[in-house]
Amino acid sequence: ALISLREMLDHAAENHYGVPAFNVNNLEQMRAIMEAADETDSPVIVQASAGARKYAGAPFLRHLILAATEEFPHIPVVMHQDHGTSPAVCQRSIQLGFSSVMMDGSLKDDGKTPSTYEYNVDVTRRTVEMAHACGVSVEGELGCLGSLETGQAGEEDGVGAEGTLSHDQLLTDPDEAAEFVKATHVDALAIACGTSHGAYKFTRPPTGDILAIDRIREIHQRIPNTHLVMHGSSSVPQEWLKVINDNGGEIPETYGVPVEQIQEGIRHGVRKVNIDTDLRLASTGAIRRFLTENPSEFDPRKYFAVATKAMKDICIQRYEAFGAAGQG
């Protein structure tokens, strides 16, 4: 059944676990996520980006998610809109039946220029008023996502700041977070704590506190009833990079956020953990390997099946590691 993000994350907070939020663009991702949740008895957050709507079309995405709730009626599902760039975009998703929307007012409506605090409060507050009237939850964002190592916002189009960010912009300020929540009444808040979107987060194997865990703890203490969201949480599995590169791929050396660091974040208040890149890498690796090993095969269902299995394995690992398994 579809439920709101607030309802799901209130349960996660009471029971001290985190929920992975997987991006969804197609049938194979949707099946992988639901089958993994079914096997591990986990709650599900599926999120659709602007890029996903462009790729699949809003009605197809909507029905893909609704089909998941029809086939798996016992699994609680949050249908979330990822990185909305304006109140109008969020309004459209609410009309489509999403149970949660992200208003990312940390960036202007071009999705790449850092905005002012006042702009962020204005668009987020207006979105909350509209969404709450419809029983829909809202995630806001304060701060600019970017690697604490490189100062870079990440590689994806339309979902991050452009250029190099200052250390100050890269960490959400706890006082400002408290003020922001008071002014907007968001249900969840994405914070900048050292992660970035995409596959190129870190150039070296991350050691120690690659994430600003202290900052997460400080923010959580200030806004204990607002659920913290970690974007850019892919771990960039080295084994899948190897499979890709052993089968004709050319992905340079790169590292993601270790699962243990995410677990540490969950212990300090992170409840929603956004993952897209890891499923992209697993499906690409599985398809490359399958086609190398089966050069005469041309039935797409054959290689999509191995891609689904590869993504499902990652989903199972994340549900278990974040403590969501058994909570569905």
Annotated binding site for Zn(2+): 83, 104, 141, 197, 231
- Indicate the residue among 71 and 157 with the shorter CB distance to ligand 13P: 157
231 binds Zn ion (CB under 5 A): yes
Among 82, 141, 218, 278, binds ligand G3H (CB under 6 A): 82
- Write the DSSP string, 88-115: HHHHHHHHHT-SEEEE-TTB-TTSSSB-
Per the annotation, binding residues are 83, 104, 141, 197-198, 231-234, 274-277
Q: Tell me whether residue 177 or residue 199 sits nearer to ligand 13P (CB atom).
A: 199
Instruction: Note whether 260 and 267 are within 8 A (CB).
Output: no
Q: Which residues contact 95 (CB under 8 A, 6 or more apart)?
A: none
Rounded to whole angstroms, the Cα distance separating 52 from 32 reads 17
The interaxial angle of helices 174-184 and 213-222, nearest 10 deg, is 40
Q: Which of residues 149-178 bind ligand G3H (CB under 6 A)?
A: 156, 158-159
227 contact partners, CB below 8 Å, separation of at least 6: 5, 6, 9, 10, 12, 13, 187, 188, 189, 271, 272
Is 209 among the residues known to form the active site? no
Residues with Cβ within 8 Å of 5's Cβ and at least 6 positions away in sequence, in order, are 45, 78, 80, 99, 100, 137, 139, 187, 188, 227, 272
Rounded-to-integer distance, Cα 156 and Cα 49, Å = 11
Q: Of residues 101-160, which lie at the interface with Na ion (CB under 5 A)?
A: 106, 141, 144
Using the minimum distance from each CB to Zn ion, give the nearer residue, 84 or 237. Answer: 84
Kindly list the residues in this chain that would bind ligand 13P in the complex (CB under 6 A).
Answer: 23, 82-83, 197-198, 231-234, 274-278
**Residue showing the smallest CB distance to Zn ion in the complex:** 231
- Binding site for dihydroxyacetone phosphate: which residues? 198, 232-234, 274-277
CB of 52 to ligand G3H, least distance (A): 5
In angstroms, give the least distance from the CB of 147 to ligand 13P: 11
Nearest residue to the partner ligand G3H, using Cβ: 51
What letter does residue 137 receive in the DSSP assignment?
E
Binding at 189: pick from ligand G3H, ligand 13P, Zn ion, none (beta carbon under 5-8 Å per type): none
CB 129 within 8 A of CB 121: no
Applying CB under 5 A, which part among 2-10, 172-180, 228-236, 303-311 lies near Zn ion?
228-236
Does residue 49 interact with ligand G3H by CB under 6 A?
yes
The catalytically annotated residue of 10, 41, 82, 209 is 82
Minimal distance, residue 18 CB to ligand G3H, in Å:
17
**Amino acid sitting at position 75:** I
What positions carry a catalytic annotation? 82
